[in-house]
Amino acid sequence: MSKATKVDMQNTSDFKMMDRKVVNSILSLPERNMFFRATSSWVGYKTAYVEFEVHEREAGESKWSAWPLIKYAFTNIVAFTTAPLQFVSFGGGICFVCSLVMIIYSLIQYFRGHAIEGYTTTILLLLLIGSAIMLSLGVIGYYLAKIYEEVKRRPRYIVSQIIHGNKDVTGSVRDDA
C-alpha cells in the first residue's frame, strides 16, 4: 500500500487522535471517495505516535474474509492513487519488448526456411498491433490519471496558519509537485 499510495502506511490505523486543524484540513478536501489512513498522513502535519499492544479478539470472529479485504484494498488504492492505470503502460512496454523478440525470432525462422507458410506474417501483425494497442491504452491511462487527479481538486499546499498583518488566517494549500 505504501508504494501504491506514495504515503508511508507502516503502523497506520483508522484510530487516530487529531488536532482540530488536521481534521479541518481533511474535511476541506472535496473528494468523495477518501482513503482515510493515507489522507490523514498526506495532509502533512507533525505526527506523534503512542505505542500500544493489540490484544487478541476476546469474543467472536472478524467478518472480513480474504475477498472483501482485497476489494477494500483495491478500492482504497483507486481512491487515493492512479497506480493501477500505470500497470497498462508497464504491461504495454513488456508486450512490446516481447513482440520485438518474437518478431526477430520469426524473421530468422522465415529466412532460414523453417517457418510455416503464413505464420510469420500473422505473428508479426498480431504482435505489432497488440503491443501498439497496449501502449496506446497506457498513454490514455496516463491522461486519465491526470484528469482523475484534477477532478479530486486536492489543494497543492496545506498551510496550517498564515500570519497576515495582525490577523491569523488558516488556509488549505499543499504541494505534491
CB atoms within 10 A of CB 130: 15
Q: How confident is residue 25, by pLDDT bands cut at 50, 70 and 90?
A: confident
**Residue 168: phi, psi to the nearest 5?**
-90, 135
Question: How far is the C-alpha of 160 from the C-alpha of 171, rounded, in Å?
Answer: 6
Q: Choose among 33, 18, 24: nearest CA to 75.
A: 33
Q: What pLDDT digit, counting tens, does each position of 110-144 carry? A: 888 887 777 778 888 888 888 888 888 888 888 88
- pTM, two decimals, is 0.52
Cell of 114: 523453417
What percent of the chain clears pLDDT 70, i.e. is strictly above it? 78
Question: How far is the C-alpha of 113 from the C-alpha of 104, rounded, in Å?
Answer: 14
pLDDT > 70? residue 176? no
Domain ranges of the chain: 1-81, 82-155
Q: What pLDDT digit, counting tens, does each position of 32-79 carry? A: 777 777 777 777 778 777 777 778 888 888 888 889 888 887 887 777
